[in-house]
Amino acid sequence: MRNKIHVKRDDTVLVLNGKDRGKKGKVLKVYPDDNQIIVEGINMSTKHKKPRSRNQQGGIIHQESPINSSKVMLICARCGEPTKVGKEVLESGQKARTCKKCKEIIDIIEKSEE
């Protein structure tokens, strides 16, 4: 069974601790099996890349490294505050992610994501 992560791709999150504490970024990739995510511009690492062919250039590349999903907090699009994510069942029977601060619906969860 897959682990459930409280953030999805394209969510805006706030980093809670580490060297990038207080920074905001967009979630680029989610790895539910490892409970990790990649956030745009957060946890940057350097990678030394060798040229593989004559026309390819080598050098030092800066790229994002994964961080644990427990170290980020979702930023609500409506109230703009970092918030916990709640789950709610609507009258139509669909499940939705909700903001715990303003009680607004963030998005509706599809069956494949459960």
Q: Where are the domains of the chain?
A: 1-52+59-75, 83-114
Could you give the angle at the alpha carbon of 6 between the alpha carbons of 10 and 26, nearest 5°? 25
Label residue 112 by pLDDT band (50, 70, 90): low
Sheet containing 85-89: which strands, arranged edge to edge? 85-89, 95-99, 105-109
Dist. CA 27–CA 39, nearest whole Å:
4
- Can you tell me the mean pLDDT for 84-95? 90
Could you give the angle at the alpha carbon of 108 between the alpha carbons of 42 and 80, nearest 5°? 45
CATH number of the structural domain 1-52+59-75: 2.30.30.30
pLDDT of residue 107: 87
pLDDT of residue 114: 59
Per-residue pLDDT tens for 35-75? Answer: 999 999 999 999 999 998 888 888 999 999 999 999 999 99
Q: What is the 8-class DSSP label of residue 112? A: G
Phi, psi of 112, rounded to the nearest 5 degrees: -70, -20
**The model's pTM:** 0.83
